[in-house]
Structure 1
Amino acid sequence: MNATDRIPFGATGLMMSRLGIGGGSLASAAGEGGVKAVVDAAWDAGLRYFDTAAYYAGGESERRLGLALRGRKRDAYVLGTKTGRYLLPDGTDRFDYSAAGTEATIRTALSRLHTERLDLVFIHDVQPSLHGDAYEAQHALALKGAFPVLQRLKAAGVVGAIGVAMRDPVPILRLLQEAPFDAVMLAGACTLLHQEACEALLPHCVATGTPVLFAAPFETGILATGATPAARYRYKPAAPDLLARTAAIEAVCARHGVTIAAAAIRFPLLCPAVKGVVVGHQAPSELAANLALLAAEPPVALWSDLLAQGLIRAIPA
């Protein structure tokens, strides 16, 4: 697999590289100069999808990515952002899926990113684990507030495709069944540690031709490093049971001559609906490493062995 090959992203008309540059951890830790270095390295390698969100680093991700991309031919790359979830200066979250809030977010994103259009806009994190008792109201507002605004902006050429982005596959599927979304960004639920999306969401996306971008294939660390004492899982130290399971997966990978990182980054791409993986890179060296991982081809027997040993529940297909 050549990660720089650009393939059709469903029926959106966009051409997507297999590896996307994620702006979450990138903007938070790499700083303005680090973001530019990674973007420059990605560009030189031939990668052309750049992902960000209003939420990441309180908007700094959009601003830094905009500066790093400024001056490049706009038709040469695909740019995505997200709306609805925001990080306040005190570190707390704010959610706003209203029509007015969505319109304001898009105006701000266009300014920060120094562009006149956004190729992909995802409604961000409409999931019960984040909203609790307010989930039903927030779900309804996303459909009645944010979505119609994005449809209008799409008709005006300001927005390309409209998607849903979150970790939980169940509310994603609900939104897809209730409105004509163009795309999905799934962060988790189809990794070597979790395969919940294989139960209903990914089969639905295959059946309907809905393209998927997969984010966080390494579960924020542990599936890149393996079961080391310092391994992190979803931004926190990994629990003993996860370390043990990861070590078992790692051992099977080793028997097939594959690193756990190479298996992890390729696993979601087994599903034909998944068109690319999006990873945050702190430095050009990390980018080079992930390009090399995607170039590796794990043997088919690896997946069947993991399934037979009960280390994964399903193979995405």
Structure 2
Amino acid sequence: MRLPDLEAWAIFAKVAERGSFARAAEEIQLSKPTVSKAISRLEHALGVALLNRNSRQMSLTETGRALLGHASRILAEAEAAETQARGGTLVPSGPIRVAAPMTFGVRHLSPLLPDFLQQYPQIDMAIDYSDALVDLVAGGYDVALRIAALADSALRARRLCGVRLVLVAAPDYVARLGHPDDPRALDGHKSFVYTNTSAPGMIRLHHVPDGREFVLSQASRLRSDNAEAFLPALEAGLGFGLFPEFMVWDGLKSGRFVRLLPQWEAAPVALYLVTPASALRPVRVNTFIDYLVRAFDHPPWGREDPAPATGTP
């Protein structure tokens, strides 16, 4: 009986994890030709291609995606066995690749990194800041942060904290509107439209006291796929918009912004930590996940209502 080529399976998992032969080879300290030969050896034994590759990019085939979970478990079990053999003292080390939303990542993830990297000097980080919805497996990401009402998927998701969406404007803009208490007063007003949604310019609100719903239709004064681009114009009093609380909580606290329609709310979303489907992960990735769970247990924007809302109570 021929034993499985466990080394090739582990190398395949590492290549998929890192998203390239070169990055995998560097991490596991093998030459790129050795890594490539291991994948070819495995594909030949299976009689099917696991990776699509050319001189510029690499991606998993349908079979590769189906088998990746098995390969990842083989690699993770081997790492766990070595950790146990060393008395459970394996120091977290190696690279972690992360995807995070642009504004949230720069404002709230980046400040956490110095402390984490100082605690774990053998871990290296590669972070892609983008509002695009990346493919974790094809992109070789270990972890992604997503702010959404998360749909069902094959990925594993862990809710870190809630994120309220609030309608805000500058005080002088609200004064010109006359401190409205009904969303119909805003309907059709030119404002800031975030385009990275399924229905740009449509804001579904519900009335907290009695549950009534209203779909607010925004006319566009300024459109963008990054809401941070609106902040200078928002502060200048040129419109209103719906923003995640983490983006405007400091402005609300200082009085630069005020809330609109205090009795009307948009459905909240949440900050999720998303990983590929396998429950088995390298020690360094679990270490980072645990760090983020602790860090966002009490996020700064959720500790208090930063400023009174405007409008009729």
TM-score over 0.5 for the pair:
no
- TM-score by length of structure 1 reads 0.24
Between 1 and 2, higher relative CO (CA 8 Å, sep ≥ 6) is seen in 2
Higher strand share: 2
- TM-score by length of structure 2 reads 0.25
